[in-house]
Structure 1
Amino acid sequence: MRSPHADHPDWASDAFVTLGTLAEERGTDSAGAALLTGRPVVAGQEAHANGRADDRRSDVSHDGVRVVKGRGRFSAVWRPDLVPLLDHAPVALGHTRWATQGSPFTLDNASPLVVPGGAAGWVGGEPPASAGVIASHNGDIEAAALRARFPMPPATGTTDSEPVFQALAGCRDGDDVITVLASLVGRAALVWVDRDRPDRVHLARAALSPLVVAVDHEQNLYWASNPRWFRDVERHTRVRFASAVMLREGTYLQIGLAGPAAEWFQPRPRVLARAGFVPTARPWDVDDRVWTGFTDADAAADRATLCHRVAERATGDTGEFAVA
């Protein structure tokens, strides 16, 4: 998330591309980037597509966001001609995929996902008016259990990520968000942006899947799956980080542009809301692959803070899980 008052916006862009390349160690099945313009989308307004798409790559412009995806590595998907748009994007989401659920050969399963809003998927009561979300997920969750709990429209792809964001797109407030996050069973680190509030980013770490949040000296905010990547960014770019913090399991943050009264004319990315929940993992989720690419010290530090419940499949083939 870009600070509007950064003196060197191109430095943050260099960091974004470097982080995308470093993320290849966690997946090379497909990759993508979503560059948001910061322009709100009116609820109910259909996204229009103009660009190109085939079975290997796509470059599609929706209202308020340009999404570029492709099969293979991030470094093969990213193109230099996108840099001017990236330099001016208030928010940019990148993703690399290692396919756990859903075919790696269809771009409907590649992230960042563009998930429509609407009446289906809301937690309860009157459904919200939502234009949907732009989102990415690192992990593997029980999609059938989530669909059984929340009403959802038919999916576009076949991943476990899409139902998570269909449910989140139907949330009216922070309490609804926590209800959805607490219902996830499996590994999940999530980032999403409501298309009707493109000035805010939502970050959540449920069980296990790592999520690091960093701030550089120009007040730009970043997130990634490995703390080592930020040290590598400092070695390969001009960006220097003021902090890089691994989120604990069960953490939800809403980040947006804000400032204290004395600084209202120079807003910067700040934590606007914070909440906690108890995440739930399956017995087999604790696997060394969770910390792929981590140094031994970083992995040990994160393991020492794990605080999830463990669920086991209930008797019968119901798809339901019981917490042990």
Structure 2
Amino acid sequence: MCGIIGCVGREDTLDTLVHGLSKLEYRGYDSAGVALSEAGDDEADGSAESEGSLDVVKCAGKIDDLRTALEGRETSGPVGVGHTRWSTHGPPTDANAHPHVDCTGQVAVVHNGIIENYQALRDELSTAGHEFRSDTDTEVVPHLVEAGLREGLDMEEAVREAIARLEGSYAIAVVVAGEETVFAARNDSPLVLGVDDDATYLASDVPAFRDFTDRVVYLADGEFARLDAAGWTVTDAAGEVVDKDVETVDWDPEETGKSGYDHFMLKEIHEQPRALRQCLRGRVDELGGAVDIGDLGDLSPTGVQFVAAGTSYHAALYAARLFREAGVPAQAFLASEYATGVPPIGDALVVGVTQSGETADTLSAMREASRRGARTLAVTNTVGSTAAREADHTLYIRAGPEIGVAATKTFASQLAALNLLSLATAESGGRDVVAALRDLPGDVQTLLDDSGAAEVAAEFVDAGAYFFIGRGYHYPVALEGALKMKEITYKHAEGFAAGELKHGPLALVTEDTPVFAVVTGDDELATKTVGNVKEVEARDAPVVAVTDGQSDVERYADHVLELPETHRRAASVLANVQLQLVSYHVANELGRSIDKPRNLAKSVTVE
């Protein structure tokens, strides 16, 4: 969940590290630090006695706090690593910030993930005389390396021996005084190399170095990388060289900038028409009413189990309904509950929905499904991610890079991609659905141009709580609307299936509880939801109707957020955009840290 950056071969190493950290701050932002290594006059020989220096600067707070700490410092060195943290072991303090060093201050380590056996290792090292300065699990790593160097191992051997003793998830980068080399390894936590003519980069995500190169190498679990002046080498756990493909990232660095918007989240909300076009491009035959999602083989599932977390779980709930309506048994599971829960159903297809492709809970669920003999499909945004590599099949949502911690355009693209999946494999829908998907980018743009969400947000910015209700495909949207409100406003918000209000939650409804009701069409679902709105109105709660105007829900609403008329499956995407805007504007009115909400991180790589 944290961010790692490393580089070898640049003259402006420190500036490069800090720039990379600023691009990774969405992954963690409660502390940050850098370590730079510089060889001495004589060539470093890899031993503990190598000449040279190691300069470490770190502090609690955001990247700007690190910049302040670096002012006036003559920090130098052609090789370095940096880290921005999302706390797991120990609070965000200067001592707990990465990089962590050994007793001598000659070995520095940055780490993402959780070392599950750190306490046993720490006890062993403490008994051997090592002194610890932090509460973190990470700090055992530099001390393990130090112990290896004391035993006469060379630098690479010492790092390999240290890595071999770790249990858990990790992406680790190590620098040592006197060594103009970065060593790195990964297990269940992402690491990617950036390859340029004169420099090599290491990061937990491509945006960290995308301004410098578009050539990347994705590391797999169990692989070990060495970056030095000669370039880069990847080996396996046994030390055998692994032949890695160098791939090209197909998005522009400008896509990770704000482009004049006040926040990444607002920019990404407004990028949804383009993201949807990218998702649909080449996959929809508008004349024939058919869908082609590429060579996924003959999936023909007799049952589908979706596993996901957070926003992706809401997309999974939506997708499960798509398949059930097509006559295919389907369920959505919280990934964190799946591995110890229900086994795959017969010849079920297990679909992991994960925008990053690195979500630890979802990866564990998919691996458990594979162990049980199920076929797996990853629905993800990230080429080269762990989910994409490990799954039997992959469907990319093509949303482009998303920097804001709260998912927006990736959710819309997930819903579109999952519609394509159901159309292609379960014959769910037909020409009317394909036509609605074709029109969806334009409909979202119309909504963005005319939305009244800012006025609604201003009206209810001081509300004590927010409720969101919907039925059918709109129930997951109600859950997602509440999640967005929680994530970026820090206000209490709940999403419900509309019919469940009267089974308990109605006791919480007051005149200080605005209820956002998603109602589209004029079918039975709409009629029943209007009835639930009347229940709310009778208790003096303000109602905001998110509607296409086909029902008479406006009669019972205090405010209306309009939707273009479309198929009910596409209407859920449109309704979600209105709710995203409401949450954004409430958070903005409250002065919240919208792109970096407290206690959260973009890619959740720990269980």
Structure 1 vs Structure 2 CA RMSD:
3.7
- Residues 297 and 181 of structure 1: CA distance in aligned 2, closer, same or farther (over 3 Å): same
Q: Which among 54, 64, 68 is matched to residue 53 of structure 2?
A: 64
The equivalent of 1:99 in structure 2 is 87
- Residues 244 and 299 of structure 1: CA distance in aligned 2, closer, same or farther (over 3 Å): closer
The equivalent of 1:17 in structure 2 is 18
The equivalent of 1:126 in structure 2 is none
- Residues 154 and 188 of structure 1: CA distance in aligned 2, closer, same or farther (over 3 Å): same
1:150-209 CA-partner distances (Å, limit 9, x unpaired):
6652312111001122112222145554343233221111111122x422221111x211
Matched, 1:216 2:216: no
Distance 2:160 2:146 in 1: 13
The equivalent of 1:54 in structure 2 is none
The equivalent of 1:287 in structure 2 is 361
Q: Which among 109, 132, 135 is matched to residue 109 of structure 2?
A: 135
Q: Is the Cα–Cα contact under 8 Å of residues 32 and 68 in structure 1 kept in the other structure? A: yes
The equivalent of 1:276 in structure 2 is 237
The equivalent of 1:263 in structure 2 is none
Shift of 1:274: 2.7
User: Could you tell me which amino acid in structure 2 is paired with residue 223 of structure 1?
Assistant: L
The equivalent of 2:142 in structure 1 is 165
Q: Is the Cα–Cα contact under 8 Å of residues 101 and 109 in structure 2 kept in the other structure? A: yes
Matched, 1:198 2:179: yes
Q: Is the Cα–Cα contact under 8 Å of residues 20 and 75 in structure 1 kept in the other structure? A: no
User: TM-score, normalised to structure 1's length?
Assistant: 0.62
Q: Is the Cα–Cα contact under 8 Å of residues 227 and 298 in structure 1 kept in the other structure? A: no
Distance 1:192 1:136 in 2: 7
Q: Is the Cα–Cα contact under 8 Å of residues 21 and 208 in structure 2 kept in the other structure? A: no
Q: Which among 383, 389, 395 is matched to residue 305 of structure 1?
A: 389
- Residues 83 and 210 of structure 1: CA distance in aligned 2, closer, same or farther (over 3 Å): farther
Question: What is the percentage of aligned positions where both structures have the same residue?
Answer: 29
Identify unmatched segments of 5+ residues in structure 1.
46-62, 118-130, 259-268, 308-324
Matched, 1:257 2:229: yes
Q: Which among 90, 100, 113 is matched to residue 113 of structure 1?
A: 100
Q: Is the Cα–Cα contact under 8 Å of residues 212 and 247 in structure 1 kept in the other structure? A: yes
Q: Which among 129, 146, 157 is matched to residue 121 of structure 2?
A: 146
Q: Is the Cα–Cα contact under 8 Å of residues 183 and 225 in structure 2 kept in the other structure? A: yes
- Residues 34 and 229 of structure 1: CA distance in aligned 2, closer, same or farther (over 3 Å): closer
Q: Is the Cα–Cα contact under 8 Å of residues 147 and 163 in structure 1 kept in the other structure? A: yes
- Based on CA coordinates, which of the two structures has the bigger radius of gyration? 2
The equivalent of 1:311 in structure 2 is none
User: Could you tell me which amino acid in structure 2 is paired with residue 203 of structure 1?
Assistant: A
More helix by share: 2
Q: Secondary structure, in 3 states, of the residue corresponding to 1:108?
A: coil
- Residues 288 and 227 of structure 1: CA distance in aligned 2, closer, same or farther (over 3 Å): farther
Distance 1:112 1:289 in 2: 27
Q: Secondary structure, in 3 states, of the residue corresponding to 1:170?
A: helix
Aligned residue runs from structure 1 range 1-40, under 5 A: 1-3=7-9, 9-10=11-12, 14-39=15-40
Q: Is the Cα–Cα contact under 8 Å of residues 111 and 136 in structure 1 kept in the other structure? A: yes
Q: Is the Cα–Cα contact under 8 Å of residues 38 and 180 in structure 2 kept in the other structure? A: no
1:288-319 CA-partner distances (Å, limit 9, x unpaired):
699xxxx9331674213359xxxxxxxxxxxx
Structure of higher RCO (CA pairs closer than 8 Å, 6+ residues apart): 1
Q: Secondary structure, in 3 states, of the residue corresponding to 1:248?
A: coil
Distance 1:35 1:198 in 2: 10
Identify unmatched segments of 5+ residues in structure 2.
1-6, 239-335, 341-358, 365-378, 392-607
Shift of 1:76: 2.7
Matched, 1:296 2:284: no
- Residues 299 and 199 of structure 1: CA distance in aligned 2, closer, same or farther (over 3 Å): same
